[in-house]
Amino acid sequence: MPLLIGPLAHPLIRARLAPQATEAGSLQAALIGGGLAGIAPDGWPRLAAGDDRLPLWQADWTPALRRYAEIFGLAPQHHQGQELLGLGEPASDAPQWQSELAAAIADRLLGLPGNRPAEAIRKRLPMIASWVASRLRAEIETASLPHVGPAAIDRVRIDSVEEPHAEYFSVEAIRLSQHRNDGGWTEPLARAVFVSGDATVVLPWDPVRDRVMLIDQMRAGPLARGDAQPWLYETVAGRVDAGETPEQAARREAVEETGIALLQLFPAPHNYPSPGAVAEYLYLYVGIADLPDDSAGLGGLATEDEDIRSHLVPRAELTRMALAGEIRNGPLLNLALWLELRHHEIRRELGQGTETALAGLPPSVGGV
């Protein structure tokens, strides 16, 4: 029987994997890393010398614990004659472990069909974790919103959720009944939802030179539709990884796709771009940046097969393009028009758009 240590010994995780585990003392040592334990495949901590007293829990190999360990590639590590489960390499440098997110991911993984190979699930862990994190954000961010009619819990009954397609993105097939506006209930309805997780979208803007940075890259959606020009002007954008905030994702994606650092973020209205069939929520920002003449070029991550080209465009030209119908990317269109309406207000918050906007503004001034 293994001894659970570190994140696996946490009550939220232990209750899901080995609820009958018993206390087995402690180990004098330290854990290095582990900020993405149970969130990313390589997020588990490593053991090091130290004076911490690390609690140990003795557990049977329950079906849930065995399945979970197989998915994450966890194996017992021998230490002083004991078999410790919950350690790995390399250590993660994530700042703080999110136990509730890790617990929700565990629920998701244990709810997947048992005949699905653990290795196949492991390859999809980043997207699975991103989707679970998206659901947690939705619960928190919308809890205080005014309802359009009665609360959803009183208007929808979900009978089943299946996942007939699961690759990088997935499709969920939902069977539900809906309480109608006339007071009755519908017969069971079938709805298919494309699952991609939340994304962040940011338009870099230099308020001193009054120019923005756009990118272009080939897009599969327009290509599949038969679009003769599937290279669209776009914003910087990307998935919000599990364990990071939308703001952190915006800054990370700006560096990855264009090589520029964003000095400050101003949130625009966030939204669902296609709520009828796509479970994607977009966090929109205008990002203050220094955009000299030589800042445009080629970018993107080779590991993600990205081939991105960036362009410097005067803000007034972007507005003209938007009003002329030349912008076909929805998030860019939203941000172009929002910036046209708000650029004077943003300039005031930045100090009338002087070089103070490019000198590293304190986070307390206006944006994130």
Q: Is 205 exposed, middle or buried (0-12, 13-18, 19+ CB in 10 A)?
A: buried
The sign one gets for the Cα dihedral 211, 341, 270, 364 is: positive
Contact call for residues 3 and 56 (beta carbons, < 8 A):
yes
Is residue 49 a known part of a binding site? no
CA distances 355 to 23, 208, 245, 249, 350, Å, are 60, 7, 28, 26, 9
Contact call for residues 92 and 43 (beta carbons, < 8 A):
yes
Please report how many Cα atoms fall inside a 13 Å half-sphere around the Cα of residue 17, on the Cβ side. 34
Instruction: Indicate the length of the chain as a whole number.
Output: 368
Largest CA distance in the chain: 72
Mark residue 95 as left, alpha or beta (left: phi above 0; alpha: psi -120 to 50; beta: remaining): alpha
With H, G, I as helix, E, B as strand and everything else as coil, classify residue 321. Answer: helix
Question: Strand 236-239 and strand 156-166: pairing?
Answer: unpaired
DSSP string, 159-193: EEEEEEEESSSEEEEEEEEEB-TTS-BPPPEEEEE
> What is the set of active-site residues?
304
Contact call for residues 349 and 365 (beta carbons, < 8 A):
yes
Residue 115 makes CB contacts below 8 A (sequence gap 6+) with none
Is residue 253 a known part of a binding site? yes
Known binding positions for Mg(2+): 237, 253, 257, 306
Q: Would you list which residues are annotated within the binding site?
A: 237, 253, 257, 306
